[in-house]
Structure 1
Amino acid sequence: MKVRQWSRDLGLGMRFAFTGGREGWIRTLLTAVGVGLGVALLLLTAALPHLLSARHQREEARQDLTYGTAVPPRADDTVLVGLSDTKWHGRDIRGRFLEAEGPRAPLPPGVDRFPAKGEMVVSPALRDLLSSEGGGLLRERLPDRITGTIGETGLIGSHELAYYAGADGMTATRDGTHVVRLTAFGDQHPEPERMDPVLILMTLVVFVALLTPVAVFIAAAVRFGGERRDRRLAALRLVGSDSRMTRRIAAGEALAGALLGLVVGTGFFLVGRQAAGEVEVMDESFFPGYVDPSPALAALVAVAVPAAAVLVTLLAMRGVVVEPLGVVRTARPARRRLWWRLLLPLAGLALLYPMIGNGRSHGDFNRYLVVGGVLLLLVGVTALLPWLVEAAVARLGTGSLSWQLAVRRLQLSSGTAARMVNGIAVAVAGAIALQMLFAGVESQYTKDTGEDPNRASMEVVLADGARLTAAAGGLARTKGVRQSVALSSGGLGDKRRDPVASASVTVGDCTALREVAHLPSCRDGDVFRVPGTDEDAALRALLRPGRRGFLDATYSGTDPGREIPWTVPAGLREATAREDSLEAGVEGLLLTPSALPAEARSTMYHHVYVRLDESVPDAEEYVRNTAARVDPLANAWRWTGTEQSARYSSLRTGLFVGALCVLVLIGASLLVSQLEQLRERRKLLSSLLAFGTRRRTLGLSVLWQTAVPIALGLLLASVVGLALGTVLLKMTATPVTVDWRSVLALTGAGAAVVLTVALVSLPPLLRMMRPEGLRTE
């Protein structure tokens, strides 16, 4: 019986929502737009697991790095892959040379045939770049004729720059650094990687901090037009409905708006999904097919949003007495109590407290406690803000006429004002906590590369040592290059196989060697010894003049037979490593070119260090072009003093993208909410104007009504965000530091969004302040 009664009353409310005249369907439409924006973002979040999984699967399917595993023998089902990655103005370009060694050689994903030598297939984004006006310099680096396009299955993003070029005569390198031989593309032996507990914690906090404002906005959207709706419900009491039936009818109206919001949100999501293929954020792009919500999560959104609409409305109606002759909400309400509102953040802190000091050494953080604790702290903002706004505006008084109008309105409806800024306050609180957490642990995911950008601007690693001299000369003559230094490095072992002692060997002309060590004097044929800090007896014995060793000694698991005997010469002299050496940790032997056996050159690694004239535009691109012309498999990169973890950087990028989406949602939802508030007050504004109130005064009063709650909300958000950030840093065993400039920037961004919405709503406000607003039916 109760189920039938609930169904009947909810259905009646849904009919009123669509057939209640102009006011009814406008309110329903506003609710649908507000809910729809939140639903679209929830569906986007539900698609994130599939998005990340799809990108990972694409990356794994085309994997061609062997990471030093044994090279398979040449066969009719093998392919040689030359690694030729490059960059263009900071953007990565994935490049590969392909040479089929037999009719059954495997093709990489997205490629239907092997390009011949002088041909290449490219991604659509690279094709557009090469054909653009600004791509001429890159076209010199990739001179092959474009004969095809890489399919979507071979790319991880719609804007990825990638190419496969044909090659002939390549030789597989034993360490897989330049040319690899494959029997199949893809990671054949994937090993599950244990995630860093701190990164897992950060991921959880990012999701909770980004989704909580969305839930708050949806809860606020289903209450659009609440005051006008409650006055309509008074008419139902006149025809005999009781208070419970009235509440259920009101819940039915909210349910109609929420269900329509699901449809609108799905439409927004589909439009955004299609647009995802055209958007690139921080060099990250996706295909629309990646943005596919999990059916279970999509079903949860479809059930949770209407259920939340009904629940929120029933809870809101508990504080409203709808009588046949009016709504007893315009009377002064009872003062809000503080004690139970403090329980939410205190309970959140209690959940997080047991994990303080865990860091990385005590296993994973309890995910349920993390989600529950962070959620309670952020939701606590929505519970505390109405009390704070009410307590603050009750003490406000004298001032200009616009100020008095704004204060009186806030005193009459402080709850409505708090609802408008709840979402932005929650978003800012979460952003401050995340900023503290990311800034605090950044040093843990940033390591020193050992590279000094003041000593060299770029480094070029060659695949073919025979081209070292040509590369050094060509780079020295390249536009924008001040100096180039060529060095080769290898190793000397005391035994042919599995040496006990080994020493590094650095080869270069006298000018190059002086870039790594202080030499007494130097001419071609000299050999120098740079003492190490932790030399043992075996190493000292190996470096004695006359001692026979083996260049490129091999270890178990690697190919034997390439070791080259070499005797330490009698004229060995000592040198001292430079503190600003081009190569980190220089010790062992320094050889001039004629002191190295000719057959040993192929066993070494060959580098050219380049100093650029930074005043020359595109100097870095000229260097890459020269390197590619001398050795197509050369790898050139810019020197940087530090390097950041890829996982940490990806998570930070995800936070940036998510925060951008939430900010868009905040702005759009606040604008809808502001327009709805103005629509409800149209008659009041027109009445004030008719009594002689200036438009400027009314406009300023609306701005004050927005500025006061947002100032209080941002103050509360800062306190809660700092508290949450402090707890999270203590959980990760990281010293607590606060970047006040970032805190001020985040609160300023929140204030800017709200004030922008207020300014955008001024033109509709001026249109509403007309005599026509006094009309009634």
Structure 2
Amino acid sequence: MSVHEEGARNQGSGPDPGRASWARDLAMGIRFAVGGGREGWIRTALTAVGVGLGVVLLLGAASIPHILESRQARGDARVAVDGDRPVKRSSATLLYADAGTSFHGDPVRGALLRPDGPDAPAPPGVRALPHHGEMVVSPALKELLASPEGTLLRERLRFKAVGTIGEPGLAGPGELAYYAVSDRLTEEDGSSRIAGFGSRIPPRELPPTLLVLIIVACVVLLMPVALFIATAVRFGGERRDRRLAALRLIGADRRTVRRTAAGEALFGAVCGLLLGTVLFLAVRQGIGSVTVWDVNAFPGDVTPSPALAALVAVAVPLCAVGVTLVAMRGVVIEPLGVVRSGSGRRRRVWWRLPLPVAGIALLLANGQVGTGGGTVDPYLIAGGAVLVLLGAVTLLPWAVEAVVGRFRGGPVPWQLATRRLQLSSGPAARAVSGITVAVAGAIALQLFFSAIQGDFMKVTGQDPHRAQQDVMLPSHDVATIREMVARFRTTKGVRGVIATIESTASRPGPVRRGEDFPPSTQVTVGDCASLGELAHTGPCKDGDVFVVKDSTGMVDTGYLFKTARPGARVLLDQGIRTGKPDGAPRTWTVPRTARIVDSRKDPSGQTAFGIFATPGALDTAALADPQARAMVRTDPAVTDAAEYVRNTAARIDPLMAVRTLQNLERDKQFGSVRTGLLVASTATLALIAAGMLVTTLEQLRERRRLLSVLVAFGTRRATLGWSVLWQTAVPVALGLALALAAGAGLGLALLRTAGKDTFDWSVIWPMAGGGAGLVAVVTLLSLPPLWRLMRPDGLRTE
């Protein structure tokens, strides 16, 4: 059937054409998109690319639940199960000890195993347990150990790698992990006997403020995607309208024309949906080799939820049809190719302003929440955020039209740019709507982040300026302890060691009336320099003894003096496990010359008290179950000083714990949410940049003939280049101004919801600067195509 015949049929379809007419008109639009020649295919391709980029991100967002579930399931499967009761030794049990470490700031998850028999269970991802002195490693750790960067780590993990850990035993392909077998493992060194792996760890309930943050972040990250898809389906709108004018010329009514336009958009959206699916599958195959903000995943993890994938598959085509029909309501397409705005009226602001006001009202209607409790209504929070950001988007076209309508005069490039914006400001506003929403949302999130992060940061009381690493030595042998301390002091990059040997002392004799057990206190032996870091000892020499009072007031001085006082006899060998002397009682008399001093917080933030003695005053061989501790000061000029310390600790004992001292500690849930937002925001910004580039190229292609005409009449290319730059800069400046206002308003409403009244305005400007920088990069990338479009052959037509 010819176009004329089909148009004639549609003429008599009446006011309600029915489903058959809808299907016929949509099919005609699809045929226009397929058989519209080179121009039609270019428009379809641009729409497909734009929609496809959005679909990739939407499918990625739809995969997040499966990614989290998969990581949680694998993490639960490798938890060592020791149970509430001790596990009896059998051929199906093994000893398990955590031996994790850190390398250049990256965690290395590790464990030492000792099977009790041939039926001992293997961890997930491990086919069979290796032999003594061997280990199985993750693929990422194997690659690191084989590289020059892993030299120091090879010195620490002195086991022979004989296999790799499979996917079931790893959180992600980039995780550094190992399992090693050692016959030296015993229950006395803190190991646990287990009968298997796998335990469900119930997730912690999210604090209300974090829940609010996640909800708003989802809105902020997905709204630019939806806006970009809505913009992409309108690519080539002017050329499409001129083609549709031919239908009006042969008698088609306005409804037929609109449905035909919807069919064109539907075909482009479906092509974009297919292209996005193909791109998503291609990206998913290589996702394991990509790490963003220390996060990566297996390709199988990146699987969209079926319900969400179905929603994307339905929503994208419907969005294309809906946006096209709404856009066509503001356009009149008449015969003879006349295309003009429907009524020439200026955009109204009265219906746009209530949107952000209603959004803020919804946010405030939720009430205050805090880390301690509160009710979070996700619909109120999400709806409020959507309305605020949608208000910024709807205000942008009005603001561009209102501002550029007042421009008069100026240089030629400025006049060309402003006149173009005055004639058609809609495409320019749509092009920057995504960056407006992204910047507004980023400002709101940063304001919220900066206000609530204090609730998830704990002051540890540690002083990393006095010492950088804290080492616990799991040995009770005094000779071994002294050797350990000597090794640390000779380690490369170590400037000093605060080393002490700790035990307990109790009052000799039977329990007295009113006492449940004899009073006891701590005994600390170390050199003068080390003791001076733990107490205000003042002048000190080897042979001195101090009675240290607890300066925090938590331990009563009177109780302390029941055991620790000058001239008192104390019992040194009261066993920690038995509560009785190990053999003949070993007593020691505190010298009458012992000075009473106040305690001092050590670099780890702890406070010690009791009897402090130098090695010349007390023989550490007399102590019962001594524990050694070392706090290490490293030289900042030595790059890998911390790694040298960990290597020394591993040579002494693989189970030695090395802890980095830091004055602030971030909550793990907060850190996970923050990392997830950084990953998602990076992907969103990449989409916005790609989308803006495609939009800019499409607009330049629409104006190709106009640019060629101006060049043919002698207009300098530099003049046209500056005019294109101003056409982008003006909407961007207005968009960023609206983003600042909307982001600040949304951020303040969120702060009110969280019960915060202080905010940091300094976080606003980097977001605005980042948005402007992104636009500048996209503009620079569009200049080469602009020069090519200014050639005289752009005047050719068919």
Measured against the shorter chain, the TM-score band is: over 0.9
Which sections of structure 1, spanning at least 5 residues, go unmatched? 555-559
Are the counterparts in 1 of residues 503 and 623 from structure 2 also a CA contact under 8 Å?
no
Deviation for aligned residue 1:732: 0.9
Structure 2 residue identity aligned to 1:35:
V
Residue of structure 2 aligned with 1:487, choices 487, 500, 503: 500
- Report the secondary structure of 2:187's partner residue: coil
- Report the secondary structure of 1:487's partner residue: strand
**Aligned pair 1:475/2:494, yes or no?**
no
Deviations 1:197-220 (A, max 9, x none): 111111111111111111110111
**Aligned pair 1:19/2:38, yes or no?**
no
Deviation for aligned residue 1:428: 0.3
The TM-score normalised by the length of structure 2 is 0.90
Q: Aligned residue for 1:206?
A: 217
Structure 2 residue identity aligned to 1:184:
G
Aligned residues: 765
Structure 2 residue identity aligned to 1:185:
F
CA distance 1:501–1:418, change in 2 (3 Å): farther
Q: Aligned residue for 1:528?
A: 547
Q: How does 1:614-625 map to 2 (within 5 A)?
A: 614-625=636-647
Q: Aligned residue for 2:676?
A: 654
* Alpha-carbon separation, structure 2, partners of 1:2 and 1:667: 42
Q: Aligned residue for 1:354?
A: 365
* Alpha-carbon separation, structure 1, partners of 2:450 and 2:261: 46
Q: Aligned residue for 2:603?
A: 582
CA distance 1:744–1:122, change in 2 (3 Å): same
CA distance 1:450–1:727, change in 2 (3 Å): same
Which sections of structure 2, spanning at least 5 residues, go unmatched? 1-16
* Alpha-carbon separation, structure 2, partners of 1:64 and 1:500: 38
Deviation for aligned residue 1:607: 1.8
**Aligned pair 1:132/2:147, yes or no?**
yes
Q: Aligned residue for 2:772?
A: 751
Deviations 1:106-156 (A, max 9, x none): 211111122222211111111111111222222111222111111111111
Q: How does 1:211-226 map to 2 (within 5 A)?
A: 211-226=222-237
Deviation for aligned residue 1:260: 0.6
- Report the secondary structure of 2:352's partner residue: helix
Further displaced range: 371-380 or 519-528? 519-528
Q: Aligned residue for 1:181?
A: 193
Are the counterparts in 2 of residues 490 and 552 from structure 1 also a CA contact under 8 Å?
no
CA distance 1:613–1:221, change in 2 (3 Å): same
Deviations 1:414-466 (A, max 9, x none): 11110000000000000000111111111111111221111112111222243
Are the counterparts in 2 of residues 356 and 727 from structure 1 also a CA contact under 8 Å?
no
Are the counterparts in 2 of residues 544 and 568 from structure 1 also a CA contact under 8 Å?
no
CA distance 1:249–1:542, change in 2 (3 Å): farther
* Alpha-carbon separation, structure 1, partners of 2:505 and 2:703: 86
Residue of structure 2 aligned with 1:628, choices 633, 650, 653: 650
- Report the secondary structure of 2:63's partner residue: helix
**Aligned pair 1:41/2:52, yes or no?**
no
CA distance 1:585–1:477, change in 2 (3 Å): closer
Are the counterparts in 2 of residues 119 and 144 from structure 1 also a CA contact under 8 Å?
yes
* Alpha-carbon separation, structure 1, partners of 2:580 and 2:695: 76
Structure 1 residue identity aligned to 2:740:
S
Structure 1 residue identity aligned to 2:790:
M
* Alpha-carbon separation, structure 1, partners of 2:280 and 2:288: 13
Q: How does 1:416-455 map to 2 (within 5 A)?
A: 416-455=427-466
Q: Aligned residue for 1:366?
A: 377
- Report the secondary structure of 1:321's partner residue: strand
* Alpha-carbon separation, structure 2, partners of 1:49 and 1:76: 40
Q: Aligned residue for 1:515?
A: 533
Q: Aligned residue for 1:259?
A: 270
* Alpha-carbon separation, structure 1, partners of 2:454 and 2:693: 40
* Alpha-carbon separation, structure 2, partners of 1:759 and 1:655: 28
* Alpha-carbon separation, structure 2, partners of 1:127 and 1:241: 69
- Report the secondary structure of 2:759's partner residue: coil
Q: Aligned residue for 2:45?
A: 29
Q: Aligned residue for 2:663?
A: 641
Are the counterparts in 1 of residues 330 and 342 from structure 2 also a CA contact under 8 Å?
no
**Aligned pair 1:109/2:124, yes or no?**
yes
Q: Aligned residue for 2:350?
A: 339
**Aligned pair 1:678/2:700, yes or no?**
yes
- Report the secondary structure of 1:120's partner residue: strand
- Report the secondary structure of 2:432's partner residue: helix
* Alpha-carbon separation, structure 2, partners of 1:318 and 1:120: 69
* Alpha-carbon separation, structure 2, partners of 1:570 and 1:503: 13
Structure 2 residue identity aligned to 1:17:
A
* Alpha-carbon separation, structure 2, partners of 1:562 and 1:157: 47
CA distance 1:564–1:352, change in 2 (3 Å): farther
Structure 2 residue identity aligned to 1:61:
A
* Alpha-carbon separation, structure 2, partners of 1:628 and 1:248: 73
Further displaced range: 156-165 or 573-582? 573-582
Q: Aligned residue for 1:557?
A: none
Further displaced range: 700-709 or 263-272? 263-272
Residue of structure 2 aligned with 1:94, choices 109, 130, 139: 109
* Alpha-carbon separation, structure 1, partners of 2:109 and 2:362: 46
CA distance 1:24–1:171, change in 2 (3 Å): same
* Alpha-carbon separation, structure 1, partners of 2:518 and 2:362: 54
Residue of structure 2 aligned with 1:311, choices 310, 319, 322: 322
The TM-score normalised by the length of structure 1 is 0.93
Are the counterparts in 2 of residues 470 and 630 from structure 1 also a CA contact under 8 Å?
no
State percent identity of aligned pairs.
49
Are the counterparts in 2 of residues 428 and 746 from structure 1 also a CA contact under 8 Å?
yes
* Alpha-carbon separation, structure 2, partners of 1:312 and 1:275: 34
Residue of structure 1 aligned with 2:157, choices 142, 145, 149: 142
Deviations 1:8-46 (A, max 9, x none): 211221121111111111101100100000010000001
Further displaced range: 12-21 or 404-413? 12-21
- Report the secondary structure of 2:80's partner residue: coil
> Larger Cα Rg: Structure 1 or Structure 2?
2
* Alpha-carbon separation, structure 1, partners of 2:343 and 2:358: 31
Are the counterparts in 1 of residues 54 and 229 from structure 2 also a CA contact under 8 Å?
yes
* Alpha-carbon separation, structure 2, partners of 1:272 and 1:687: 42
Structure 1 residue identity aligned to 2:105:
G
Deviation for aligned residue 1:576: 2.9
Deviation for aligned residue 1:672: 0.8
Are the counterparts in 2 of residues 98 and 167 from structure 1 also a CA contact under 8 Å?
yes
* Alpha-carbon separation, structure 2, partners of 1:106 and 1:38: 46
CA distance 1:583–1:416, change in 2 (3 Å): closer
Q: Aligned residue for 1:329?
A: 340
Further displaced range: 357-366 or 687-696? 357-366
Structure 1 residue identity aligned to 2:194:
L
